[in-house]
Each structure stands twice: as structure tokens, then as C-alpha cells.
Amino acid sequence: MTVFLCIDDNRGMLFNNRRQSRDSEVINDMLKTASSSVYAHSFSEKYLSTLSSSFTFSDTLLEDKKDFCFIENLDIAPYLSSIDSVILYKWNRDYPFDVTFDVDLKAEGYRLENKTDFAGSSHDKITKEVWVK
């Protein structure tokens, strides 16, 4: 499995059950990276379905070990054994948070394979990190 996640400077993911931020360029990059349909939880449906028809929604996407999963509201820690690659999009911003991404990728045996910056549609600099096992 390859998992896509967005985090802020505090490794925050959500605040008040809402995504911290959004950027259409992140979604475009994600779809470009994935060679097939990207799966997402129903939490993300309202947002993603307005941007692209390339997403498939399922609440058991991690249990079902879908190839490409965009995760906004789930803890991936229990599924690490099935996750070969984690792609982090960093907002390079400080947002409020009450849910964080707590997986220490290095400690879990992942290595940083690639790191690139790109401009978003509403963010000056988004950093994409590709972590692989």
C-alpha cells in the first residue's frame, strides 16, 4: 500500500474534525503519483468529489489494503506492516490541531527516498516527502 497524508509543522492533521488545509495542487500531484485509482475514506468524499472523479470511497480502505490511499482522519499505525510507502505533504504552516500523525517513520523502518518542494494553488511552498520501507 502507498498512503498519502497531509501534515502541518506540528505534524497536525485535523482540528475540530476538519482538515487543517487543502490545496488542489496536492490532489493533482497525488493523482499523478498514483498509477491507479486513489481510495479515500468517506470523510473526504465531499471535498474530493468536487475536484476529481478519480477517487473511490471506502471506509475499509486500509483493512482492504488498497494500493493507493489518501488518509485524512485515520490512524495508520495498525496497518504499517502492509504499508510500503508513505507520502507526506507538508504544508510548512502552523495550524491548530487536535489530531496528529504520530508515526515515527524512521523508527518504523522507513527511509526518506525523495523530498521535493512545489507551489500549491494557495500555499507558497508544499514539501512532498516520499518514505519507503
Partner 1 sequence: MKNRKRRFALVLAISLLSLSLLLSGCDEFLDSLLSDGSSFIPEVVTTTAETTTTAEDVLSEAFETTTTSKATTLATTTKKTQTSAGVPAYSGKPYVALNNNEPAFTQGDMTTTGFETYATLDYLGRCGVAFACLCTDLMPTGKRGSISSIHPSGWKQQMYDFVDGQAVYNRCHLIGWQLSGENANERNLITGTRYLNTKGMLPFENMVSDYIKETHNHVLYRITPIFDGDNLVASGVQMEAYSVEDDGDGICFNVYCYNVQPGVWIDYKTGENHAEDTVTEAPKTVKKAVAKTTAKKTTLAPVDTKDATYVGNRNTKKFHKPSCASVKQMKESNRVFFYCQREEVVSQGYVPCKNCNP
Compare residues 37 and 73 and give the one whose CB is closer to partner 1. Answer: 73
Question: Please, which residues bridge with residue 39 across strands?
Answer: 56, 69
State the residues that interact with partner 1 by CB under 8 A: 15-16, 18, 20-24, 46, 91, 93-98, 121-123
Extract the C-alpha cell encoding 109.
523502518
Compare residues 78 and 96 and give the one whose CB is closer to partner 1. Answer: 96
Compare residues 32 and 46 and give the one whose CB is closer to partner 1. Answer: 46
Cβ count within 10 A of residue 73: 15
Q: Beta-strand (E) ranges in the chain?
A: 2-7, 12-15, 18-19, 38-40, 55-57, 68-70, 85-90, 99-100, 111-118, 126-132
